[in-house]
Amino acid sequence: MGIIDGMTTAAATGVRRPSVVRALTWLLAATAAATVAVDALNWWYAPERGFGLAVRSGWALLRTVGFLILIRHVRRGRAGARPLGLILAVTTVLAVGRLIVPRAGVPALPGVLGVAVLAVLCGVVVWLLYRSPPLQEYLVRHPSRLVVGRRGISWREVAPRRPPVAGWLLTARVAAFTYGPLTLVPCLVAIGTILDGRLLAVPTVVLWFGIGIGVSYAVLFSTFFLLRGKTWAGGLLALISVLVVGVDLAFCWLLLGVDGLLRDGVPLVVAAALTLYALRRASRAAREEPRDQVPAGAAATAG
């Protein structure tokens, strides 16, 4: 079976894919291709092709892998497709957009037009994921797992044991998972300063790299409990968001200057803002939920 398919029947569930799934699949493939094209265009017109541009261009190209994963999630009706698509669309525009801005002068017109087209494609992707009723009804499945039962061993969809997770919590989780990579990318760019003879920057770069790895584990720890309904985990993730932004912006300013602060700091700030907004929306929904529940224990049957 190819990546792009028509109105077919899902083998595992017998649920027919709505036509909008095929349209979104083509759109995601076009967005992935546009990401590669715009990245190549930016490299072609870049006045300086140094180590930093190579690292940032490589990170932008990795978005194509993300879009392929998103296509798989959409085709299989995974509930995590929405938050993944949102954060992938936002960070793709930022990752590619920062490449067209030169250190001096104005960006090349082809690069600007390419980023504009990419932004439109990403905007349509997010609109379909969050505003299309057929997609909202289709993207409800859970990942398949290996199950051992009386009938033997089988690979099938299994609902998680934890309580149902609000969509905004999934969004916060996916957005927070970008902290590690968004911290490590400018750290790798800063290695160029060492290659240029700034050996005094070595301890700072090593510390920055260690913080980037530590942030990934801290996010993994907090989101593990966040999805299991622990209220303190939301506060911990918010604290991690604030701290990682403060530390990363400081290192960007120290080692990469204003240029690095804008190119590498802004994407992290956007990801952190999205995480905090998602946590706030999830907390508000949790406070309003008891009012909507039917008294006398009837809420246990809801959902």
CA-based R_g, the chain, Å: 21
Q: Are residues 130 and 168 part of one domain? A: no
> Residue 152 falls within a domain, yes or no?
no
pLDDT, tens digit, 9 for 90 and up, residues 183-214: 999 999 888 777 766 777 788 899 999 999 99
> Residue 184 falls within a domain, yes or no?
yes
**What span, in angstroms and rounded, lies between the C-alpha atoms of 198 and 32?**
37
Q: Are residues 200 and 81 part of one domain? A: no
Q: Which domain holds residue 79?
A: 1-144
Per-residue pLDDT, 233: 93
Q: How many structural domains is the chain composed of?
A: 2
> Residue 256 falls within a domain, yes or no?
yes
**What span, in angstroms and rounded, lies between the C-alpha atoms of 190 and 258?**
13
pLDDT surpasses 50 at 3: no
Residues 242, 243, 246, 249, Cα dihedral to 10°: -100
Tokens of 150: 């009386």
Q: Are residues 185 and 115 part of one domain? A: no
> Residue 101 falls within a domain, yes or no?
yes
Q: What is the mean pLDDT of residues 27-35?
A: 94
pLDDT, tens digit, 9 for 90 and up, residues 232-255: 999 999 999 999 999 999 999 999
Q: Are residues 3 and 117 part of one domain? A: yes
Q: Are residues 190 and 109 part of one domain? A: no
Q: Are residues 119 and 192 part of one domain? A: no
Q: Are residues 191 and 71 part of one domain? A: no
Q: Are residues 200 and 136 part of one domain? A: no
pLDDT surpasses 80 at 273: yes
